[in-house]
Amino acid sequence: AAAYNHKVVEKKWRGNWEAHPINVNDGKKPKYYCLDMFPYPSGSGLHVGHWRGYVISDVWSRYKMMHGYYVIHPMGWDAFGLPAENYAIKNGVHPRISTASNIANIKRQIQDISAVYDWDMEVNTTDPEFYKWTQWIFVKMFKAGLAYEKEMPINWCPSCKTGLANEEVVNGCCERCHSVVTKKDLKQWMLKITAYADRLLDDLDKLDWPEKVKKMQGDWIGRSYGAEVDFKVDGKDESITVYTTRPDTLHGATFMVLAPEHKLAKSLATDETRKDVEDYIFKASTRSNIDRMQDKEKTGVFTGSYAINPLNGKKVPIWLSDYVLADYGTGAIMCVPAHDDRDFEFAKKFNLPIIQVIAKDGKEIENMTEAYTEAAGTMINSGDWNGMESSVLKKEAPEMIEKMGFGKKKVNYKLRDWVFSRQRYWGEPIPIIHCPDCGCVPVPEDQLPVLLPEVEKYEPTGTGESPLAAIDEWVNTTCPCCGKPAKRETNTMPQWAGSSWYFLRYVDNKNKDELVSREKADKYLPVDMYIGGVEHAVLHLLYSRFYTKFLHDIGVVDFDEPFTKLFNQGMITGKNGIKMSKSMGNVVSPDDLIEDYGCDALRMYELFVGPPEMDAEWDDRGIDGVRRFLGRFWNLVTENADKNFAETAETVKIRHKLVYDITTRLENFNLNTVVSGFMEYTNKLIDLSKKQGGIDKTTLETAVTLLAPFAPHLAEELWEQLGHNTSVFVGNPWPSYDEEAMKEDEIEIAVQINGKVKGKITIPADADKDAAIAAAKAALEDKYPENIVKEIYVPGRIVNIVAK
């Protein structure tokens, strides 16, 4: 038989699959929706890192196909956003044009993976037929009161010259360009994602997602239970409300701290403190939240005023400090230095009293050197509350405080509403018209899409207006309500808008009347398996869940979670774990590797580099070993294909074990060990073939079938050589295994004396304890000890003899 030539084989099968699609919807098969996070079509094309996720999702799709599913496996383009716009600013090329050519290039590269993508389902977020529905969702949200305008200080990237959502600020810097983010007062469109906070949090329990991702979303939503407590300002009518999660520690509140932005901050100053207070407030206003939270050394200023602890009537000083954030809770806190780290630090620095109110072993600590932050122990120094268990009190105190009349129970969230407008060109226009009489009026649904107009200059103005504001003919329009002159909204949507719902559109991408028909939605959605990088844990995955819940609530779909199962693949990096990027010059392109080793070899090598959920360093040299394995596998099958060799007991056993190992590893996503498993078993079969003179056809067919999701071209070719004239993926179900048939007749086990291995013995697999011990005795002969305390047989594993 001819040697394995990947070029010939891969070309032939790509052509065959085009002529005879293997993943067909006959209307009878159950569906399985396996989705990749769709790519941004960047100018630099795909590298081997991008391949990894696509190979994983394709293996999974083909595996599901072989279980009789019609697999929905689409691909599309997340094509609005800054890179295309920045390119336009630099080179004067319209983003529409550069985007189209990038897509064409990346599409060709993705097709080289030979994945079973259904290109009839393709979507592109910048296509007016697509963004019509992105705008439609916005209009629906506006009508539901979930989209609103608000003047507020928002995160502003001075380099991208646009506002950012909280989720887009990472360690105080712009997620995209890493510039330090500042604040800017701007009128913004906001989406009320907070209205869904409880559902977004509680429904995480329904999801088969990595725990790590669920925890990140949970922390981001940040629900906490506590109380709001009112403290009267001494000598004034005003009172200050604080938010606390630890009302049990109220007796230990020895001072109070307000955010410098608190509305009472200035008025609490006395003649002596006024100058210091105003200086401090000014300084804080120039700093970002992140800086403030990360301060090593606490800063603060005494206002000169006092508040009254409502529980015990004690006077406590009121301070200002920027470790208290203005936009969380009430912007004011009661400070319990004995039981909170930050309060402790502050008290030490400014010499404020520390009163311990929870004692771990009933004893008060002399000279506390750090706060005791657990809610575990008995209450002390707490009047009527003395002797209570703090964990119990923590839960009961909010209600007690409510009854006593100086506060109430309160739930708080870290999640904030979503800043949804961007002051940039290359995005979906927000479909709103501003009328002097009617206010904000949504563009009527039958007039959507609001097309993105042509502009002469793409530069952001930096004034907080998008380049669209300069196009008078576009901006000036009439009010859909009253017909009077009115102006269009000139902000555009963030890049997340299209990606928050694109997965719904694939299954009905040509529908002119609906986002997705209810019939198709019911039949093909939601996504069963979603595969992509972990960097989207909060942003995209949270926004998509919010959109889906909203579309559920307005009856577009009947499910309220978009992605039933999630898999995050690790990153492929260059040497020393450095991210692959053009600027680092360490990008490995798949193109040459496909040429030299073949698509199948590259697919398997992508999986072989390490556990798929972990990052892995790329090293081209390893692909050679995978290519050689494919050559050996090819030879094994082709040499035996026409032999009609009868099956032997030994081969049957290996066959069942092979099916078992590959299937269980694949089910658990241990894909790197699937590849090493194939290598081991192929060597075993080659040895066996030499020993016996051949391998039977059933075993060869089984091995080829198992290999098909991984190396589809090669598997198709070998399947044909084994005498089949239909695809290995069609009408050829995934092989099953029989645990009985896998069992070895004889097993090798270790013999230990007092835990130390002394030798190995071979015994019948079903040997009982007596037989195993007898075999051990026979093997060790005179080395078998005399003063035996115990003889232990761990079935199938060891004999251990305990002796004196």
Cβ nearer to Zn ion, comparing 83 with 431? 431
| Residues in Cβ contact with 94 at an 8 Å cutoff, skipping those fewer than 6 apart | 88, 454
Binding test (CB under 5 A) with Zn ion, winner from 435, 541, 607, 658: 435
DSSP 8-state code for residue 351: T
Q: Are 530 and 37 in contact (CB under 8 A)?
A: yes
| Per-residue mark of binding to ligand ANZ, 249-288 (x: CB under 6 A) | x---------------------------------------
Q: Are 414 and 220 in contact (CB under 8 A)?
A: yes
Cα dist from 250 to 230, 305, 340, 368, 469, whole Å: 11, 19, 12, 19, 53
From the CB of residue 520, how many other CB atoms can be counted at a distance below 10 Å? 15
The answer to whether the beta carbons of residues 442 and 146 sit under 8 Å apart is no
H/E stretch holding 278: helix 274-285
Whole-angstrom Cα Rg for the chain: 34
Size of the site for Zn ion (CB under 5 A): 6
- Which among Zn ion, ligand ANZ, none contacts residue 438 (Cβ within 5 to 8 A by kind)? Zn ion
Name which of 53 and 431 has its Cβ closer to Zn ion. Answer: 431
Taking CB under 6 A as the binding criterion, the range among 26-34, 108-116, 324-332, 526-534 that sits at the site for ligand ANZ is 324-332
b/e map 640-672, b = 16+ CB within 10 Å: bbeeebeebeebbebbbbbbbbbbebbeebbbb
Stretch that binds ligand ANZ, among 205-213, 239-247, 269-277, 702-710 (CB under 6 A): 239-247
- Nearest approach, Cβ of 356 to ligand ANZ (angstroms)? 11
- Interface residue with Zn ion among 173, 290, 438, 588 (CB under 5 A) is 438
Does position 331 interact with ligand ANZ (CB under 6 A)? The reply is: yes
Q: Does 443 bind Zn ion (CB under 5 A)?
A: no
* Burial (0-12, 13-18, 19+ Cβ within 10 Å), 780: middle
Q: Is the Cβ of residue 262 or residue 627 nearer to ligand ANZ in the bound state? A: 262
Query: 649-667 and 671-692 helices cross at what angle (nearest 10)?
Result: 170
Span near Zn ion by CB under 5 A; candidates 437-445, 559-567, 618-626, 677-685: 437-445
How many C-beta atoms lie closer than 10 Å to residue 272's C-beta?
10
DSSP string, 523-544: HH-SEEEEEEEGGGTTHHHHHH
Of 244-252, 395-403, 449-457, 609-617: span binding ligand ANZ (CB under 6 A): 244-252
Q: Which is nearer to ligand ANZ, 325 or 368 (CB)?
A: 325
Question: Of 50, 62, 214, 246, which one interacts with ligand ANZ (CB under 6 A)?
Answer: 246
In Å, what is the CA distance from 299 to each residue of 139, 284, 294, 344, 648? 46, 10, 12, 13, 81
Q: In the complex with Zn ion, which residue's Cβ is closer, 487 or 665?
A: 487
The answer to whether residue 357 forms part of the interface with ligand ANZ (CB under 6 A) is no
189/492 Cα distance (integer angstroms): 10
Query: Pick from Zn ion, ligand ANZ, none: which does 437 bind, CB < 5 to 8 A by kind?
Result: Zn ion
Burial classification of residue 797, based on how many CB atoms lie within 10 Å of its CB (0-12 exposed, 13-18 middle, 19 or more buried): exposed
Among 76, 196, 93, 88, smallest CA distance to 131 is for 76
Q: Given the rule CB under 6 A, which of 84-92, 240-248, 469-477, 496-504 is the region that contacts ligand ANZ?
A: 240-248
Q: Under the criterion CB under 6 A, does residue 244 sit at the interface with ligand ANZ?
A: yes
Q: Indicate whether 333 belongs to the interface with ligand ANZ (CB under 6 A).
A: yes
Beta carbons of 789 and 804 less than 8 angstroms apart:
yes
Q: Which two tokens stand for residue 536?
A: 């989207």
Ramachandran area for residue 618 (φ above 0: left; ψ -120 to 50: alpha; else beta): beta
Among 16, 105, 245, 299, binds ligand ANZ (CB under 6 A): 245
- Site stretch for ligand ANZ (CB under 6 A), options 279-287, 325-333, 512-520, 706-714: 325-333
Among 437, 592, 642, 768, binds Zn ion (CB under 5 A): 437
Nearer to ligand ANZ, 308 or 659 (CB): 308
Residue 243 interacting with ligand ANZ (CB under 6 A): yes
Q: Which of 37, 46, 256, 334 binds ligand ANZ (CB under 6 A)?
A: 334
Out of 148, 328, 559, 784, the only residue in the binding site for ligand ANZ (CB under 6 A) is 328
Which one of Zn ion, ligand ANZ, none is in contact with 481 (Cβ closer than 5 to 8 A by kind)? Zn ion
Site for Zn ion in 463-492 (CB under 5 A): 479, 481-482
Which residue, 294 or 683, is less far from ligand ANZ as judged by CB?
294
527's tokens: 């996504």
Please compute, for residue 711, the number of CA atoms within 13 A of its CA located in the half-sphere on the CB side: 31
Q: Which of residues 198-227 bind ligand ANZ (CB under 6 A)?
A: 224
Q: x-or-dash pattern for ligand ANZ, window 405-424, by CB under 6 A?
A: -------x------------
Partner interacting with residue 548 (select from Zn ion, ligand ANZ, none; CB below 5-8 Å by kind): none
Six token digits for residue 193: 């994602």
504 binds Zn ion (CB under 5 A): no
Q: Are 640 and 700 in contact (CB under 8 A)?
A: yes
The CA distance from 543 to 631, in Å, is 46
Choice between 245 and 573, CB closer to ligand ANZ: 245
- Give 744's contacts (C-beta < 8 A, 6+ positions apart): 653, 765
Instruction: Pick one of 52, 298, 339, 422: the residue that binds ligand ANZ (CB under 6 A).
Output: 339
Neighbours of 95 (CB within 10 A): 25
Helices 95-111 + 82-91 axis angle, to 10: 120
Give the Å distances, CA to CA, from 712 to 20, 63, 497, 707, 782.
15, 11, 36, 7, 58
582 among annotated binding-site residues:
yes
- Nearer to ligand ANZ among residue 219 and residue 766 (C-beta): 219
Residue 632: both structure tokens together: 């050996």
381 or 586, CB closer to ligand ANZ? 381
Q: CB nearer to ligand ANZ: give 9 or 257.
A: 257
294 binding ligand ANZ? (CB under 6 A): no
Question: Residue 369 — left, alpha, or beta (φ > 0 → left; ψ -120 to 50 → alpha)?
Answer: alpha
479 binds, among ligand ANZ, Zn ion, none (CB under 5 to 8 A by kind): Zn ion
Residue 71 burial class via C-beta count within 10 angstroms: exposed 0-12, middle 13-18, buried 19 and up: buried
- Partner whose binding site includes residue 142, from Zn ion, ligand ANZ, none (CB under 5 to 8 Å by kind): none
Closer to ligand ANZ at the Cβ: 281 or 452? Answer: 281
336 binds, among Zn ion, ligand ANZ, none (CB under 5 to 8 A by kind): ligand ANZ
The residue ranges of DSSP E strands in 360-438, in sequence order, are 378-379, 407-412, 418-419, 432-435
Interactions with ligand ANZ, residue window 485-504 (CB under 6 A): none
Which residue, 260 or 467, is less far from ligand ANZ as judged by CB? 260
- For position 393 contacting ligand ANZ by CB under 6 A, the verdict is no
C-alpha to C-alpha distance for 379 and 663, rounded to whole angstroms: 57
> Of 538-557, which residues contact Zn ion (CB under 5 A)?
none
**Residue 368 binds ligand ANZ, judged by CB under 6 A:** no
* Joined tokens for residue 338: 């004995």
Give the total of residues touching ligand ANZ (CB under 6 A).
17
**Nearer residue to ligand ANZ within complex by CB, 408 or 552:** 408
- Stretch 502-561 residues interacting with ligand ANZ (CB under 6 A): none
Judged by the rule CB under 5 A, the positions of this chain that interact with Zn ion are 435, 437-438, 479, 481-482
Judged by the rule CB under 6 A, the positions of this chain that interact with ligand ANZ are 224, 243-246, 249, 324-325, 328-329, 331, 333-334, 336, 339-340, 412
Tell me the binding residues for ATP: 582
Tell me the binding residues: 582
